[in-house]
A and B are shown apart, each in its own frame.
Chain A
Amino acid sequence: MSVTDQGLLHRDKDTMTLNMGPQHPSTHGVFRVILEMDGEVVQTAEPEIGYLHTGIEKNSENKRYGHVIPMTDRLDYLNPPGNNLAFCLTTEKLLGVEIPERANVLRVIMCELSRIASHLVWLGTHALDIGAMTIFLYCWREREMILDLNEEISGVRMMTSYIRIGGVAKDATRPWLDGIRDFIEYFPAKVDEYERLLTKNPIWLDRTEGIGAFTREEAINWSFSGPALRASGVNWDIRKAQPYSGYDNYKFDIPVLNNGDIFDRYRVRVEEMRQSRIIIKQALESLPEGPYKTPDNKVSLPPRESLHTSMEALIHHFKLVSEGISVPVGETYVPIEGARGEVGFYIVSDGTNVPARVKLRAPSFMAIPGMCKMMEGCYIADVVGIIGSIDIVMGEVDR
């Protein structure tokens, strides 16, 4: 098709159509937006997605429950434990399994570490897009520590698949716990350092204050969630509203701000990193002794040693490895608070070992139309800031 056929060139109009992406660096993935420009001001912004479509939902309908977990890592690839947890909680709700207390605490530690890592990637790249170069490397330095901790516990730096149906993959190790203790002692000073670089920086304020603002009603109506919603004055965090995995046992605050602009979204996320550290600290102190996965051998593998002595354990092991978990007929949905907002899997089970339908509710996907609405009337230079401030991850948008 030629440019005229696609409607990109209008000789009769005063506006100019500008194509941004899919390989534009600020889109943090492959996101394309077609901007209708009047001079420097955006008139309309039309999103175009699907460049990273990998058919994960279709694939999930042809895989056993346990085999879906590594694929969930690849959805929101900056916050894999959040996706693992969402999938496992939904499956466990259908199965009706009780999770041991130690597994719940380990899950919380993993999710909060990953939330910090995800916000660090966001802060570094978002600031880099706007022009603050230094902070990018600072954020990567701290994220590297979390990735090393991931490697220690799961053997993998990013796609951990650590949270499994019925518990977690492996018990906490001493180097991992010591590493987290060191990290939470070290981290607060670094958050202060980021804030010293940005929060009162006049260039940063000029680029972020009052730009891309959404009111409370708009943010709710456009189905924003997570930090983007809380920056618009909505006090809604699923960790508090519908607690899961024992989040009601921890004392932490939900940062809520009212302006709904890029600057407030920045401040909400920075404060969330501090709160996540507080949760990890409490979780480490309250880490109970006990099993790290459910003793129900129809859901989780029996201990390796028992295979040599127990016939029953051997049968369970064989059935689980060759057949997988059979989930009773039903459909359910459990939302959790991911790094970007409400994450949840809707699972329909037909009673077999393969799910009949798996649907991810992705916060980035839901936020894209609202984000493009936000761009209307902004300068083209602010488009980059708006995309960065919503923090979209294309892996979960295109699935």
Chain B
Amino acid sequence: MTSEEIIEKVKAGLADAIQDTALPQGDAVIFVAPDSWHAVAEFLKNDADLKFDYFSDVRGVDYLLEEREPRFETVYQLYSIDHQHSIRVRVGIDEDNPSVPTVSDLWKGALYPEQELFDMFGINVEGHPTMERLIMPKDWEGFPLRKDYPLTTEAVTFSYNRDFKSDLVKSKPPTR
């Protein structure tokens, strides 16, 4: 199906749940609220004409600098192996208590990228079996890919070797 046909089909099947649709550069994009996302996902996967059986990816986006409401967005990319078409689903998420339902019960492939959402953006994925740090260390504080998390460098803790040739070196090792 072409992107226009996909959007028509989704609109016909789920009139209430779809907030908006768009066709940027010819891609099919639909906007969904977090509450209705799981129902939409089930429809997209099980409908015979759409049949989005392949979970391609999910990304978090932080729109803090654009002062947009809602602040966060999770963007799902789905693909249909049989019909060879794809769709992008954008789910807007509020800043206070950000959470979105899991779809890892429909596509097992969603397990890891959804865990990364929590790790990098602090978005709580409801119903996900392991809501804990994935890439960052277990005791890490903060969510690195949020826009209010600064890009900093970490002080490197080298130990100094004593310079025997001259005792003029008075500097001390840097403290963290």
Cα distance A59–B27 in the bound complex, in angstroms: 27
Per-position contact with B for A232-253: 1 when CB-CB < 8 Å, else 0? 0010100001100000000000
- Whether A77 is near chain B, meaning CB under 8 Å from some CB there, is no
- Whether A32 is near chain B, meaning CB under 8 Å from some CB there, is no
B108-A366 in contact (CB<8A): no
Residues B51-101 near A (CB distance < 8 A) = 53-57, 59, 61-62, 65-66, 75, 77, 81, 84, 86, 88
A356-B134 in contact (CB<8A): no
Which residues in A have their C-beta under 8 angstroms from that of B54?
A: 220, 223
- Whether B13 is near chain A, meaning CB under 8 Å from some CB there, is no
- Whether B107 is near chain A, meaning CB under 8 Å from some CB there, is yes
B134-A330 in contact (CB<8A): no
Which residues in B have their C-beta under 8 angstroms from that of A359?
A: 57, 59
From known contacts A55-B144, A93-B25, A333-B27, infer whether A356 and B65 are also in contact, taking CB-CB under 8 Å: yes
Kindly report which residue of chain A lies nearest to residue B54, judged by CB atoms. A220
Which residues in B have their C-beta under 8 angstroms from that of A234?
A: 81
B: contact size bracket: 35 or more
Cα distance A59–B137 in the bound complex, in angstroms: 19
Kindly report which residue of chain A lies nearest to residue B136, judged by CB atoms. A50
Kindly report which residue of chain A lies nearest to residue B115, judged by CB atoms. A369
Cα distance A222–B112 in the bound complex, in angstroms: 10
- Whether B18 is near chain A, meaning CB under 8 Å from some CB there, is no
Which residues in B have their C-beta under 8 angstroms from that of A337?
A: none
Which residues in B have their C-beta under 8 angstroms from that of A59?
A: 151
Which residues in B have their C-beta under 8 angstroms from that of A93?
A: 25
Which residues in A have their C-beta under 8 angstroms from that of B107?
A: 221, 223
Partner-binding segment picked from A113-121, A125-133, A342-350: A342-350
B53-A350 in contact (CB<8A): no
B77 partner, pick from A55, A348, A361, beta carbons under 8 A = A361
